[in-house]
Structure 1
Amino acid sequence: MNDLLYTISKENHSPKALKDILSNAPEVKFVSFVGVDLAGNDTDEKIPISLFLKDIEGFLTGAIQTDGSSVALPGIATINNAKIDMIADKDSTWFIDYNYEHLDSKSGRPIGTLRIPCFLYHDSKAVDSRSILKNAIHFFKTSLMNMFRETPELLHTYNIEFDDIEDISVTAATELEFWVQTPNDEAHVEELSTSQVLQEQYWTRTKGSVRTSLEQCLMLMEAYGFNPEMGHKEVGGVKAKVNESGSYTHIMEQLEIDWKYSNAIQTSDNEIIIKNIVRETFRLNGLDVTFLAKPIDSVAGSGKHTHISITLNCKSGKCINLFTATKDHFLSAIGYASIMGILKNYEVISPFVSPTYNSLKRLKPGFEAPVCVVTSLGHTVEMPSRNRTILLALIRDLDNPFSTRFELRSPNPHTNTYLCIASMCMAMLDGISYAIKESKTEDDLLKELSKNYGEEFGYLEKYRMYRSEDDVFHKYSEKDRDKFFGKAPKTVQENLSFLDNCKDKVAILKKGNVFTDTIINGFKSTSIKRWLMEINHRIINNYMKEVRGYKKLHLDDLALDLDLSYWIKINDLRKYIMKDTYDRKSLFTQIKEASKNEDLPLISELQLELDNKMEELRKLYCTYEKNLLDI
């Protein structure tokens, strides 16, 4: 399959070049226009290649339409005004998606679909995630160029003049973690948790169909030009079993795949096709893959650490990483200012990073997932270090100045990377603007970033701390973490409330019409609808099945008083969670009624109580079961 057509670069997006390329790839039978809505869903509208080739120019300039029912754009594409135009993005790489289960009858090659990234327009306005990121990058670059033009002495640090600048690039990369298992197999949570604490799976050798799938993924990624850097086991998982034929069964493992950075939009596009490669490759080998942030309670969730940096490209061909320090500092002034912008405004970034119930379940102490809005720069400038307990990490390599970047550790595989990076850019620009307008030096900014609780400076909030080189989970109690770094949201309603309550910070997102009121309200509506549907029709149903599974195990004639006591507590909890009586409604019913009344704060409160009661029930049942000699 090495001679298959995998990509079409932006230099070949003219009608003539496309006809020439596609005529030599007869296995490509379809074209699909890929738009990304506010929920991060990508569309797939298949068009026969013959139809596309007859009118390439028309298709690339807006011949494709869809309606609001096929995309998540609430408050934008309404039922009485639903037409959405799909305009091809000719400045990005296009990919061919192959169906390895459907082979061409003549060549024996898999049937391919050319996936063309596009922008979604409603009433002549771009309303999709790719457009938001594109606008954010444009506004960021234009604003920064204007600052350099008005304050050219800023560039003297880099030994260049304003006229030397060719362009400014926002580069990004993501790390994809996911769980893989044999279909319908379940592992005991305690077994998974024990294996995690003992680190029995982390970076160990892959075996059997998991190894085959992982290797095939990396080979395909190379064919597509993604430049994979590594694939390995993560911390979660248990040892598989071998059946009589020598094949592995009862597979339950967590994996990670990394690949090379690119510009921000291309990085987001790449992630979509790579997730499809992972799903299909593992499925063809008889394995299930889940990208849920927290697929199993009490076990490590899956992250998608998102890296970002800013590069200044000179007309001479020279490239400069604007975050890299030019003297005895962790970062340049622009680097310090950028990290301050993200931390100060993270309340309005968080909804775009963790908009779902499951994504917030991952962000709990004890699983290397961040809960505090805090950064770590390193113990000394000369010795870069990595603190895995914080939200925003500084990545440095003293031998490679181009490697200096920030790693946001809160995203998960379902995070909409387009909106995540767009909101980060707007926040970074706010910090940079402060530093430049106030003529802040590296020393000034480092001092402010390292401020103590109660110290007042010009930008960061007085009653907050923003830097810690300690393990924040051991150094501080939960009460102190909430006090020093701000209380982390635990539900979708709490997270989205920042978009209502932090008006000054929301205004930063709205600059340059990047995040408009229409876009923000549409995103909120999408997230709330998804949250209510999930909790009422998936979470409650799953919990219902789990509660019914906690059955009486002891034999009455052999049970001790302690066994009876445990069972009474378990049964009382089961009833409290699930069983209605004439006098009291169960937690399940209370949540359903609050949902009908759209009482979001009450749903949020009940959801937290339900999760706590379910955790209490699991622990109690485990203790009860272990105390029984005969079942």
Structure 2
Amino acid sequence: MLDFDIDKMLFTIPPENHDCREVRRILEEHPEVEFVSFVGIDMGGHDTDEKIPVRAFLEDMEKLLEHGVQTDGSSVALPMIADLGNAKVDIIPDKTVNWYVDYNYRNVCAKYGLPVGTLRIPSFLVHNETFECGSRSILRNALRYMKEELRRELREHPYVFRYIEGADSVDDIDDFVVTSATELEFWVRTPDDKGDREQLFIAQTLKEQYWKRTYGEVRTALEETLLILDKYGFGVEMGHKEVGGVKARMNNGGQYNHVMEQLEIDWKYTDAIQAADNENQVKYVVRDIFTRHGLDVTFMAKPFEGVAGSGEHTHIGLAARRKDGKLISLFAPRSMKEDFMSPVGFGALMGILKNYEVINPFISSSNDSLNRLKPGYEAPVCIVTSLGKAVDKPSRNRTVLVGLIRDVHNPMATRFELRAPNPKSNTYLVLATSYMAVMDGVKAVLEAEKTPKELEASLSKKYGEEDFYLEKDREYRSEEDVFEYYTEEEREKLFGRAPATVWENLEAFDRYPEKIEVFNRGNVLPNILFESYREQTLSQWKLELHDRLIPNTMGFIRSCRKRHTDEDFSDYDIKNWLEIDKIRHEIAKDTITDKSLLTQAKEALDARQYDRASALQLEIKRRVEELTALYTRYKKNLL
């Protein structure tokens, strides 16, 4: 267990203690905190980190907290905004949220007997002193716009208060509380171990690992992580095994090896910006503690083909604080036994569903993220929701994109679970775009002055039916397992075709310009920021495909070598090998007259033929999967 006293450590400095005098006092009382870092989040979701000695920070604290520190365009992902010729970017502290102390558990100070800490201050990115251009400012502006618009709509359409418990008019409301939380899934393993895909698949199918007891270093690391996260005030609710993994083995020294397990950690909801900050810090703590115990951590969405990937279900809520201080849910209906939601709740859900094609590129922005979104792995591929078969029968349909979470006995628990995000999604942009879509739906519903019953009928509309807001040739609700109940053709017709590559996902921006306009409102995502994000995502896809996935595929092709000898083989071995070698050559071997799939894909990327490159990426993936299955069959027949 931990070999230092965590009760003596500093974990957060809350907003009420951000004046210079208090910060100085706190840091002087905690000399184990030796560095300060300003943390800005760029358009790629990357965070900045620098080590300012506490001594230097305290000497110039007033200036640093007011004007921040400076970096340049080459150190942050802000394409089309900050470049080498116009590179000035300031990192300005946010004084409205918790500041965290990030500890180096491998560097324990002998003098104090505590790990060396770095005070990490969440910050805004500002280009040329005036233009706020990072993910954090987009989320803040989205929340500001939403609150202003929501108050105006509630004032103009007071009918809605007939369906909301706890308030009779907008004049009863002091402020709106936008709440969020994420659930972090991740894989841990002993370094250099490669998972046996068949054993992982069998263990998953038999549910041998799901919510089972942890052992050895995994148990110790998980327990230490939960204890430390609680000290940050995250309100940890649980940590447990997820569906993926295989049983570890114990060596002669009593240590477990061949660890390959999927875990999940959940914590309480909070304000949306604080929720995104919390998640960022949670990942650092998880990685630091598990690696301290010799375990590698990956937050990839799909680290292993053929078994469950890691999601990060994101919860979206909306409440109002009355002038007497009491919180009320704006999503919950006046009577939990008569309606699923209030008109605000229905509008919010409909807004996400209608606009999801242009939200999706902000959620699934990498090759890895789209590898996870496949039928059959509890990952959503259809734009569809589930409410429950009746108001007294809450839905637990795990095949939908957005689920309604409700408790008849606790209206404040009413919220939506967005199931598509993964641990590497940029939560700031996920929440910003989702809440802008929420407001689009709420605005449409309130201006039409629809009742909960009318809205339930709209959400349950059949393909081809006209609606005041939702699209005619779509369906949006299913209480069935969408992978079992519908064929692939039916799913695509009713709920839309899911993008299979990053390029296909980005194409939604051009197909649905009217939906992009939702993000422009209130200058939340002006065109320059939108184009910067698109360019960053496109560039990342091109570089990863060209310089990582294609070379890695070539390495795999070369590893699929002939294994049988001329003295020990069967006709079946020869048949298998001839099929394998044919596919190997098609994927990776050029001739004078024909170019391999890998070469064609690289040339398409170089020529900016992105439609062709995307199609080739899918063909390569299909052929590699075919090759993998054949090579596995071939090896199993060898003695």
Normalising by structure 1, we get a TM-score of: 0.98
What residue in structure 1 maps to residue 243 of structure 2? 235
5 Å-filtered alignment, 1:550-629, equals: 550-628=560-638
1:143 partnered with 2:149: yes
Question: How far apart, CA to CA, are the structure 1 residues paired with 2:354 and 2:23?
Answer: 47
What SS does structure 2 have at the residue aligned with 1:168? strand
1:101 partnered with 2:106: yes
Question: How far apart, CA to CA, are the structure 2 residues paired with 1:363 and 1:399?
Answer: 34
1:316 partnered with 2:324: yes
Question: 1:333-357 deviations in whole A, cap 9, x for unaligned?
Answer: 1111110000000001000000000
What SS does structure 1 have at the residue aligned with 2:38? strand
How far the C-alpha of 1:561 sits from its partner, in A, is 2.3
1:350 partnered with 2:355: no
What residue in structure 1 maps to residue 428 of structure 2? 418
Q: Check whether the contact 2:160–2:449 (CA below 8 A) recurs between aligned residues.
A: no
Question: How far apart, CA to CA, are the structure 2 residues paired with 1:246 and 1:498?
Answer: 53
Partner residue of 1:22 out of 18, 22, 27? 27
Letter in 1 for 2:220: T
Question: How far apart, CA to CA, are the structure 2 residues paired with 1:399 and 1:148?
Answer: 26
What residue in structure 2 maps to residue 129 of structure 1? 135
What residue in structure 2 maps to residue 43 of structure 1? 48
How far the C-alpha of 1:388 sits from its partner, in A, is 0.4
What residue in structure 2 maps to residue 78 of structure 1? 83
Question: 1:385-444 deviations in whole A, cap 9, x for unaligned?
Answer: 200011000111111111110000000000000000000111011111111111111111
Question: How far apart, CA to CA, are the structure 2 residues paired with 1:497 and 1:238?
Answer: 39
What residue in structure 2 maps to residue 160 of structure 1? 168
What residue in structure 1 maps to residue 301 of structure 2? 293
1:258 partnered with 2:266: yes
Letter in 1 for 2:210: Y
What residue in structure 1 maps to residue 70 of structure 2? 65
Question: How far apart, CA to CA, are the structure 2 residues paired with 1:200 and 1:537?
Answer: 37
Letter in 2 for 1:137: L
Question: 1:283-332 deviations in whole A, cap 9, x for unaligned?
Answer: 00001000000001111100000001100100112211111121311111
Letter in 1 for 2:607: N
Letter in 1 for 2:459: L
Partner residue of 1:306 out of 285, 294, 314? 314
What SS does structure 2 have at the residue aligned with 1:180? strand
Question: How far apart, CA to CA, are the structure 2 residues paired with 1:36 and 1:121?
Answer: 11
Partner residue of 1:512 out of 510, 513, 522? 522
Moved more, 99-108 or 150-159: 150-159
Partner residue of 1:9 out of 8, 14, 19? 14
Moved more, 267-276 or 582-591: 582-591
Letter in 2 for 1:456: E
How far the C-alpha of 1:227 sits from its partner, in A, is 1.0
Structure 2 gap ranges (5+): 1-5
What SS does structure 1 have at the residue aligned with 2:23? helix
Letter in 2 for 1:102: N
Partner residue of 2:408 out of 376, 383, 398? 398
What residue in structure 1 maps to residue 285 of structure 2? 277
Question: How far apart, CA to CA, are the structure 2 residues paired with 1:244 and 1:315?
Answer: 65
How far the C-alpha of 1:92 sits from its partner, in A, is 0.2
Question: How far apart, CA to CA, are the structure 2 residues paired with 1:385 and 1:162?
Answer: 31
Q: Check whether the contact 2:157–2:447 (CA below 8 A) recurs between aligned residues.
A: no
How far the C-alpha of 1:537 sits from its partner, in A, is 1.9
5 Å-filtered alignment, 1:144-223, equals: 144-157=150-163, 158=165, 159-223=167-231
Question: How far apart, CA to CA, are the structure 2 residues paired with 1:308 and 1:173?
Answer: 7
Moved more, 171-180 or 526-535: 526-535
Partner residue of 1:362 out of 365, 372, 391? 372
What residue in structure 1 maps to residue 487 of structure 2? 477
Moved more, 552-561 or 216-225: 552-561
How far the C-alpha of 1:156 sits from its partner, in A, is 4.2
Normalising by structure 2, we get a TM-score of: 0.97
Question: How far apart, CA to CA, are the structure 1 residues paired with 2:196 and 2:68?
Answer: 52
Question: 1:178-204 deviations in whole A, cap 9, x for unaligned?
Answer: 010000001211111111111111111
Question: How far apart, CA to CA, are the structure 2 residues paired with 1:151 and 1:192?
Answer: 54
How far the C-alpha of 1:60 sits from its partner, in A, is 1.0
Question: How far apart, CA to CA, are the structure 2 residues paired with 1:283 and 1:242?
Answer: 19
What SS does structure 1 have at the residue aligned with 2:394? coil
What residue in structure 1 maps to residue 3 of structure 2? none
How far the C-alpha of 1:556 sits from its partner, in A, is 2.9
Letter in 1 for 2:138: I
Letter in 2 for 1:616: E
Letter in 2 for 1:228: V
How far the C-alpha of 1:76 sits from its partner, in A, is 0.6
Question: How far apart, CA to CA, are the structure 2 residues paired with 1:104 and 1:561?
Answer: 66
Question: How far apart, CA to CA, are the structure 2 residues paired with 1:79 and 1:606?
Answer: 34
Question: How far apart, CA to CA, are the structure 1 residues paired with 2:548 and 2:449?
Answer: 53
How far the C-alpha of 1:104 sits from its partner, in A, is 2.5
Letter in 1 for 2:581: N
Question: 1:432-487 deviations in whole A, cap 9, x for unaligned?
Answer: 11111111111111101000000111110000000000010011111111110000
What SS does structure 2 have at the residue aligned with 1:32? strand
Question: 1:555-581 deviations in whole A, cap 9, x for unaligned?
Answer: 334423222111101001111111111
Q: Check whether the contact 2:18–2:95 (CA below 8 A) recurs between aligned residues.
A: yes
Question: How far apart, CA to CA, are the structure 1 residues paired with 2:459 and 2:159?
Answer: 23
Aligned residues: 629
Letter in 2 for 1:91: T
Question: How far apart, CA to CA, are the structure 2 residues paired with 1:381 and 1:153?
Answer: 22
**4+ aligned runs moved over 4 Å, structure 1:** none
What SS does structure 2 have at the residue aligned with 1:167? strand
What residue in structure 1 maps to residue 382 of structure 2? 372
Q: Check whether the contact 2:105–2:289 (CA below 8 A) recurs between aligned residues.
A: no
Question: How far apart, CA to CA, are the structure 2 residues paired with 1:377 and 1:446?
Answer: 9
Partner residue of 2:342 out of 332, 339, 347? 332
1:31 partnered with 2:36: yes
